[in-house]
Structure formats: structure tokens, C-alpha cells
Amino acid sequence: MNIYVYDGNFDSLISLCAELIASKITPENIMTEDKSHGYLFDKIYLSFNQNLYDRLNSRLNQISKTAYAHICAAFLSETEGMEIKIYNYIQTVLRLSLEKNISQQKIDDYLENFADSSIRELNQLSKKVYIERHRFLGLIRFSELSDKTLYAQFEPDHNISLLLAPHFKQRLPKDNWIIHDIARGIGAVYDKEKNDYILCGLENTAGIIYSEEENAFRQIWQRYWKEIAIPERKNPKCQLNFMPKRYWKHLTETENLNR
């Protein structure tokens, strides 16, 4: 058994993969310290190697920007076993790029060859993340605070704050807004003066005060939402399929129904 342990950072994972590949080691598994408690022996720690990290990072970017984006998204999935899938995928990408006379087109095509399990598995992960991101582009709900800041809480399965922020920067450039992932205690905070956002730790939500109008618009929306459904076409199963109950807590329209 050889289980490689890293600190949970993306850069460290890339550095670790680079080192494993350079020394031709096939790891049994790769995981973070807290997930590795069950394993007493055979845990291996490698320290961060800037040089190897830089080389692999730029190499991957050079081979395919899309592949790199898939790797990032798969990492943000934070699902169990994503590290080894990323490792396998990186290996495939590198092996591919070393083939003699291979054209960019052929590389791009192969990266969509779902008969190859390393490619399929990584794509399935990144797809999950992008699907959730797309869902939350719609499901984020802002409330207006007394200082006019738009504030949203949500609890996504995957760590998607950074993937959502650019969309809202484009959409609401003239308002200050915060999207707060309360499950992870982080948030994207946008400042309209600077026209930019930062990702930071956010814990405390006590002391939040709504603007005067906020309640009125919530009620207007809630009623509209309820009445827009056509009774003859009632289909709660379908509704739940698109909008699972676990999201309801943070949706304005369902905040009172989630009992």
C-alpha cells in the first residue's frame, strides 16, 4: 500500500502528481490528511516542489486549456477519490502529448474519447460541478440589506463560489453583493467601486438587517411563484427533480414551505 497524503490545496496536488509521474510511481490512492485517519501505515508525505509544480502546470496549460479547466473543476468537486482521478487524467494527457507527430486536433479529439476510463471519469466529475454551477446561476437568491448590499446564502455540494462569481460580476456590476457558501464558511464578496470580487472566509451572519422594502418584494415574489403553476398540470415529482428539497431552505419562494 502506498497512500500519498497532501494538504488539500490544488497546487500541492499538482506538485504531488508531478513528483509521482517524474519518479514513475503509481500511487494506490491520494487523499488529504483528515480523510486518511483510517490508515495507520504506508502514508507518504511529500513536500511541495515549486519547480515541478511550475513545470507541470504550464505544460498542462500548453497541451490543452480545456483539459486544464476540467482538472480544476474536478478538484472543486471535493468528492472522495477525485485526486486519483485527476492523477490518472494527467497521466493520460501527458502520455498523449508525447506521442510522435501527434496533432493538436488529435489530442483534442482523444480528450473526448469516452471509451477511455481516465477521460470519462474526470469528465463526469467536472460535469457534475458545471451542472451544479449552472443550477446555482438560477438558484442563488439575493436579499437586499439595509445598506443596499445584495446578500445570498447557499450550500452547494461542490465548491463553486469561484465559478459563480464572474457571472454575477457581469450581471450586477453596479451593486455590492456577497454570495456566501455557509457550508464551507467562505464567500465571494464583490465591491462595486473596485469592480472586483475576492474570495474569503466568512462566518458570522448575525446582525444582518434587511432593507425596508425587502419583505414586500419577498412576499410579492412568493405569491407570484405559487400562482404561476397550472393546477391541471401539477407535477411535484418533476419540480423536485429540478429543484431538490435540499436547496429549498435558501430559496426565497420556498423559505416557508421547507418544513
Partner 1 sequence: MNSDFSALNDKLSILGMSAKYDASCSSSGSSRKNPEGSGNAVAAGICHSWGEDGRCISLLKVLQTNICSFDCAYCINRKSNDIPRAVFSPAELADLTMQFYKRNYIEGLFLSSAVLKNSDYSMELMLKTVSLLRNVHRFGGYIHLKVMPGADPLLIKRAGFLVDRISANIELPTGESLSLLAPDKKPDKLIGSIKDISSNIRESVDEYRFKRSVTYAPGGQSTQMIIGATPETDKTILNLTESLYKKLSLKRVYYSAYVPVTESSLLPALTKPPLLREHRLYQADWLLRFYGFKAHEILNDEYPNLDMRIDPKTAWAMRNYHLFPVEISTAAYEEILRIPGIGVQSAQRIIKARRFSKLTFEDLKKIGVVMKRAKYFLSCSGKMMNSNFSHDLILAEAGGLYSEIKISELREGQLPLFREQSIPPIEIAQEI
Q: Applying CB under 8 A, which residues contact partner 1?
A: 109-110, 112-116, 120, 127, 130-131, 134-135, 137-144, 150, 152, 167, 170-175, 213, 215-217, 219-221, 223-239, 241-243, 251-253
* Least distance (Å) between residue 148 CB and partner 1: 10
Question: Which is closer to partner 1, CB of 22 or CB of 208?
Answer: 208
Q: Find the shortest distance in angstroms from Cβ 58 to partner 1.
A: 25
Three-state secondary-structure class, residue 199: strand
For the sheet with 177-181, list strands across it: 143-144, 150-154, 177-181, 186-191, 196-201
State the minimum distance, in angstroms, from the CB of residue 234 to partner 1.
6
Closest to partner 1 by CB, 208 or 220: 220
153 contacts 124 by C-beta, under 8 angstroms: no
Least separation in angstroms between CB 155 and partner 1: 16
Are β-strands 196-201 and 186-191 bridged in parallel, bridged antiparallel, or unpaired? antiparallel
**Toward partner 1, which CB reaches closer, 185 or 244?**
244
Instruction: CB nearer to partner 1: give 78 or 116.
Output: 116
Beta carbons within 8 Å of 62's beta carbon, 6+ residues apart: none
Cα separation, 72 vs 58, in Å, equals 14
- Edge-first strand listing for the sheet containing 29-32: 29-32, 3-6, 43-45
Minimum CB separation of residue 132 from partner 1 in Å reads: 10
| Nearer of residues 54 and 253 to partner 1, judged by Cβ | 253
